Amino acid sequence: MAVIIDGKSLTLDDVAAVARGREKVVMSDGAKAAVIKARNYVEKKLSEGAVIYGLTTGFGKFSDTFIPADETAQLQRNLIISHSCGMGEPLPTEAVRAAMLLRCNALSRGHSGIRLSTIETLLNMLNAGVHPIIPEKGSLGASGDLAPLSHMVLVMLGEGEAEYNGVRMSGREAMQKAGIPTIELAAKEGLALINGTQIMTAIGSLCTIDALDLMKTADIAAAMTAEAQLGIKAAFDHKVHDVRGHQGQKDAAENLLKLLEGSELALRTQPDKVQDAYVVRCVPQIHGASRDAINYVKAAVEREINAVTDNPIIFPDEDEVISGGNFHGQPMALAFDFLGIAVSELANVSERRTERMVNPALSFGLPAFLTKHGGVNSGFMIAQYSAASMVSENKVYAHPASVDSIPSSANQEDHVSMGTTAARKCRMIVDNAQKVLGIELTAAHQALWLRSEEGRGHMAPATKAVYDLLETKIKPIETDVVMYVNLKAADELIKAHAIVPAAEKVCGELK
């Protein structure tokens, strides 16, 4: 079933369906009418000889330079080719698809003055799988993502490069093979296509989708570690969390109790200890804070994916064209910095839980490094090293990009957001966190197998379901194996969002 865009009701689930699931996209009839109405208004203003930024003037510092009507098409083309200054490796295809979707959705609101046929060209590319090669570096997130979005538009003009059917080729060849005519931009269209936050928001949207899954996955990993650590469930009692009142904390505690229901390993009280270490006892407080941050970002992203972010903005009903600053990426820059910090903490505490399982001084009787035959076998010794490495790397990436700014365009654009840098850093943090939590799940799988060998008791049904899923890819280790194969398998399960459904099938939906 196709995703229908109208500029107002796109969801993160829609973004995932198009970016990762290759769903088709169509515009609503109401959106088409709004786009046509705005374009007719632009044509009227052009015929009247009105002086309007970006339509009949240059850009940035050249906003005072009037452009004659017979040069407007050249103005728009020059804007795209001159602004195509991206550098570095290409963005992943899923991010490119998300950006194309978000740009089409923003233009569908009918406040950009672009022709319907131009939007349809971009939609046809998206639906046919013509994916522009967009270098990941070069955006300040000031007048939006000018450089990377220009690379997207190049292919519409038959320039640049694209990937089609898995093959990288020239933009013109990709369009020809897909049977999509290239276009010549009309007045306002180049600016409408590249003035916006769609690259940072595309990358950040996918990070947010993964973070929403990861915050539940982290609760599952913590529950399995709590069982391996013979944890005390009383710390998760709702009364403890109700008196503090943070929703994320309450939700995480509820998840843990739901996941641990029926466990013979993690009990309400334990005869041999009064309390657990913080990384087990304080999971609701730690995960909950990240959960609240992730949900804040989710709300911000859901607004931005339905926002008009180009300039100037056309208001046909009010007979106004207003040059504003909706292209500025600050709302997303702060959000994606915050998201990176929140996800970094999920990885940080996960690595410490792994340490408690592999360290015989902290594991409540588990063998050193989770191997029965230590010495000749190293077991999970270096798995914890690997997790520690990525956690430390995340501390570098988590430094906020949004606190930086550098003036550009001869000081016309004198404060910039660095929002795309924030989103790109966040993507690296999420990837590392997925891997770190995969290591914890792999270690917990081994630890719980060792507990079963001890005859300690049964796991909770929900954590046992996840254990069984892991068992399809990972077997308990009697002696050393090529370890990265197991760790990679766990990472792939997390990236496929497979861990959470396995638990929820047994215990019901997690918060």
Q: Are residues 348 and 300 in the same domain?
A: yes
Per-residue confidence (pLDDT) for residue 61, from 0 to 100: 60
The model carries a pTM of: 0.95
Handedness of CA 261, 265, 269, 275 (dihedral sign): negative
**What tens digit of pLDDT does each residue of 191-224 get?**
899 999 999 999 999 999 999 999 999 999 999 9
Quickly state the pLDDT bin for 76 (edges 50, 70, 90).
Answer: confident
Q: Domain containing 52 — which CATH number?
A: 1.10.275.10
Provide the token pair at 305: 């994916």
CB proximity list for 292: less than 8 A, separation 6 or greater = 246, 247, 248, 249
Q: Are residues 121 and 49 in the same domain?
A: yes
Distance of CA 214 to the CA centre of its chain: 11
- Decide if 278 is catalytic: no
Query: Of the residues 41, 53, 164, 397, which is catalytic?
Result: 53
Per-residue confidence (pLDDT) for residue 60, from 0 to 100: 63
Per-residue confidence (pLDDT) for residue 59, from 0 to 100: 63
Residue 332 clears pLDDT 70, i.e. is over it: yes
Rounded distance between C-alpha atoms, residue 232 and residue 228, angstroms: 11
CB 242 within 8 A of CB 250: yes
User: Which of 388, 360, 334, 315 is CA-nearest to residue 450?
Assistant: 360
Last residue of a domain, one of 141, 172, 196: 196
CB 261 within 8 A of CB 267: no
**What tens digit of pLDDT does each residue of 403-442 get?**
998 888 777 788 889 999 999 999 999 999 999 999 999 9
| Amino acid in position 111 | H
Pairing of strands 25-27, 3-5: parallel
Last residue of a domain, one of 196, 231, 260: 196
User: Which of 2, 465, 20 is CA-nearest to residue 206?
Assistant: 20
**Burial environment of residue 78 by CB neighbours within 10 A (0 to 12, 13 to 18, 19 or more):** middle
Lowest mean pLDDT among 49-53, 138-142, 241-245, 433-437: 49-53
Q: Are residues 384 and 491 in the same domain?
A: yes
Q: Are residues 240 and 363 in the same domain?
A: yes
Rounded distance between C-alpha atoms, residue 141 and residue 147, angstroms: 10
β-pair partners for 161: 170
For 90, list phi and psi in degrees, rounded to 5.
-65, 145
- The chain-wide mean pLDDT, for the chain, equals 94
Per-residue confidence (pLDDT) for residue 68, from 0 to 100: 72
CA distances from 14 to 19, 33, 205, 280, 296 (A): 8, 22, 11, 36, 19
Quote the number of domains for the chain. Answer: 2
Residue 46 clears pLDDT 90, i.e. is over it: no
Last residue of a domain, one of 144, 174, 196: 196
Q: Are residues 174 and 69 in the same domain?
A: yes
Q: Are residues 188 and 224 in the same domain?
A: no
Q: Domain containing 468 — which CATH number?
A: 1.20.200.10
Q: Are residues 20 and 128 in the same domain?
A: yes
User: Which of 273, 261, 195, 192 is CA-nearest to residue 232?
Assistant: 273
Q: 36 is in which domain, residue-wise? A: 3-196
Residue 25 clears pLDDT 80, i.e. is over it: yes
Higher per-residue confidence, 456 vs 427: 427
Rounded distance between C-alpha atoms, residue 70 and residue 274, angstroms: 82
Q: Are residues 213 and 334 in the same domain?
A: yes
Rounded distance between C-alpha atoms, residue 45 and residue 57, angstroms: 13
Mean pLDDT of 3-20: 98
